[in-house]
Amino acid sequence: MSDSKPKTMGQQLGRRSWAEPWKIKMVEPIRLKSKSDRQRALEEAGFNTFLLRSEDVYIDLLTDSGTSAMSDRQWSGMMLGDEAYAGSRNFFRLEHAIREFYGYEHVVPTHQGRGAEHLISQALISPGQYIPGNMYFTTTRLHQELAGGTFVDVIVDEAHDPASDFPFKGNVDLRKLEALIHEVGSEKIPYVSLAGTVNMAGGQPISMENVRSVRELCDRYDIRVYLDATRMAENCFIIQEREAGYSQTPIAQILKEFCGYTAGAWMSAKKDSLVNIGGWLAVNDADVFDQVRNMVVIYEGLHTYGGLAGRDMEALAIGVEESVDDDHIRTRVNQVRYLGNLLVAWDVPIVRPVGGHAVFLDAKRFFPHIPQDDFPAQTLAAELYLDSGVRSMERGIASAGRDSETGENRHPKLELTRLTIPRRVYTQAHMDVVAETVKSVFDNRDSFRGLEMVYEPKYLRFFQAKFKRI
């Protein structure tokens, strides 16, 4: 037997390869700009990948938000838009899809996820209250704070350790949650804010057993549980794979069971649901629905369109159904792992286990010589772009922002650079190019210094901050 024969990745891993359950019908050209063009673009963007022009990017892994490819079914749905101001047919299709796949009774569409976060936060949170959650998300926490609440992280300790192989790093630590309830009193906690595929922890899942226990605990104290369902389908795939008793259960059924432990959910449909824009808030309690349905007309639009066109709601209704297809979700998560496994094989430090939607580079171990105050993860994102036009995103000290009381920089344990994979957009060859880019920066890691922030916006600073090289 000859060892020199090329091997497919499947053969290297000792198994048969998988392939995407779709074929490509339309293409969008992309181009790698020259090194000097990239250098100029990066300087103009203040070393912030959010400020680059998309045209200057070769492979765009900034986010999986709104960047998915819609199916031919979804595009044909766009032609079936009922653009009536009130009572559009597409709204009822969307409502039906959410009831069928997520199981919630009352549905309010919103322009995207943060619109829904705004409504639920304003409806349920009073000033001085506390909202426990399994790690913060940027927009979620900000809306909770703007409503006068304080977010309290009750995620398991393993979530803060990028090297821990714990299978459910998105789980709530029940002791932390109960300690908070005892400390502040259950009447000070309007709800528990759960999230699937916890983004800031590296795309880590929460188990069915954990949500069941959270619900039991909250029932004892009469506290409601609400869910950020943005990447719940991906979370359900990992439950199917790792949690005892679910290996034969379809994703759709796992999703419905999981949501059944919660009183409602908000959703950025730009992620799991395979659309370019859209979101929703869905609840079971009629009184909460009454409040949010009333508020949506102030901030988003009438309660049967919430800032979306009829055609967007149609594409979203179809996307909800496609997002829970077992073949779709398996290849989606496996593509992320393909990239992660290449990097692990080359000893690049990443968050383990590889998450559902992205590979997170551990910038603290990647650049051990760059102090956190010099933005190692931001530096890494900038250098990856410069190397070969690959766009990623900082998830570290810049994203964490400042403490709302002291005004000091927060120093999160995790200092990460996220390579986020859009759904159904890139091929395995693109993943190879990305992996080689990371390897090239990693091989030269000692030559990089950090960055200094020269412009800092007040809210969600990571989006618009500017930096310069130290």
Ligand X SMILES: *Cc1c(COP(=O)(O)O)cnc(C)c1O
To ligand X, the closest distance from the beta carbon of 78 in angstroms equals 19
Among 49, 110, 138, 230, which one carries the catalytic annotation? 138
> Is the Cβ of residue 271 or residue 311 nearer to ligand X in the bound state?
271
Residue 101 is among the residues annotated as catalytic for this protein: no
Residue 385 is among the residues annotated as catalytic for this protein: no
> Is the Cβ of residue 235 or residue 372 nearer to ligand X in the bound state?
235
Give me 241's structure tokens.
């794979």
> Is the Cβ of residue 65 or residue 437 nearer to ligand X in the bound state?
65
- The residue at minimum Cβ distance from ligand X is 113
Instruction: Check binding of 270 to ligand X (CB under 6 A).
Output: yes
CA distance 208 to 257: 8
DSSP-derived 3-state class of residue 149: coil
To ligand X, the closest distance from the beta carbon of 240 in angstroms equals 20
Among 85, 455, 459, 463, which one carries the catalytic annotation? 85
Instruction: Check binding of 114 to ligand X (CB under 6 A).
Output: yes
Residue 442 is among the residues annotated as catalytic for this protein: no
To ligand X, the closest distance from the beta carbon of 228 in angstroms equals 5
Instruction: Check binding of 235 to ligand X (CB under 6 A).
Output: no
Instruction: Check binding of 228 to ligand X (CB under 6 A).
Output: yes
User: Which one of 47, 130, 137, 385 is in contact with ligand X (CB under 6 A)?
Assistant: 137
CA distance 393 to 395: 6
Residue 462 is among the residues annotated as catalytic for this protein: yes
CA distances to 87, 194, 279, 296, 373 from 309, in Å: 12, 29, 12, 15, 43
How many residues are recorded in the chain? Answer: 470
Residue 364 is among the residues annotated as catalytic for this protein: no
Question: Is residue 12 exposed (0-12), middle (13-18) or buried (19+ Cβ within 10 Å)?
Answer: exposed
To ligand X, the closest distance from the beta carbon of 131 in angstroms equals 14
To ligand X, the closest distance from the beta carbon of 197 in angstroms equals 8
Instruction: Check binding of 144 to ligand X (CB under 6 A).
Output: no
The answer to whether 268 touches 231, Cβ cutoff 8 Å, is no
| Contacts of residue 161, Cβ cutoff 8 Å, sequence gap at least 6 | 413
Stretch that binds ligand X, among 11-19, 76-84, 206-214, 267-275 (CB under 6 A): 267-275
Residue 325 is among the residues annotated as catalytic for this protein: no
Stretch that binds ligand X, among 184-192, 263-271, 382-390, 444-452 (CB under 6 A): 263-271
Instruction: Check binding of 65 to ligand X (CB under 6 A).
Output: yes
CA distance 22 to 29: 19
To ligand X, the closest distance from the beta carbon of 252 in angstroms equals 21
User: Which one of 46, 170, 279, 389 is in contact with ligand X (CB under 6 A)?
Assistant: 279
Among 47, 58, 104, 137, which one carries the catalytic annotation? 137
CA distance 20 to 16: 14
To ligand X, the closest distance from the beta carbon of 368 in angstroms equals 29
Work out the widest C-alpha separation in the chain, in whole angstroms: 71
Nearest to 59 by CA among 450, 428, 458: 428
The answer to whether 200 touches 414, Cβ cutoff 8 Å, is yes
Stretch that binds ligand X, among 134-142, 161-169, 332-340, 455-463 (CB under 6 A): 134-142
Stretch that binds ligand X, among 19-27, 141-149, 264-272, 337-345 (CB under 6 A): 264-272
Number of residues that bind ligand X (CB under 6 A): 15
> Is the Cβ of residue 230 or residue 304 nearer to ligand X in the bound state?
230
User: H-helix or E-strand containing 256?
Assistant: helix 251-260
Residue 466 is among the residues annotated as catalytic for this protein: no
Q: How many CB atoms are closer than 10 A to CB 249? A: 16
HSE-CB for 183 with a 13 A CA cutoff: 10
The answer to whether 299 touches 119, Cβ cutoff 8 Å, is yes
The answer to whether 270 touches 393, Cβ cutoff 8 Å, is no
To ligand X, the closest distance from the beta carbon of 307 in angstroms equals 11
Among 114, 224, 271, 423, which one carries the catalytic annotation? 271
Give me 236's structure tokens.
């359900």
Question: Is residue 365 exposed (0-12), middle (13-18) or buried (19+ Cβ within 10 Å)?
Answer: middle
Instruction: Check binding of 139 to ligand X (CB under 6 A).
Output: yes
Nearest to 235 by CA among 208, 266, 267: 208
Q: How far is CA 100 from the centre of its chain?
A: 23
Residues of the shown chain interacting with ligand X in the complex, contacts defined by CB under 6 A: 65, 112-114, 137, 139-140, 195, 199, 228, 230, 268, 270-271, 279
Active site residues: 85, 137-138, 228, 271, 395, 462
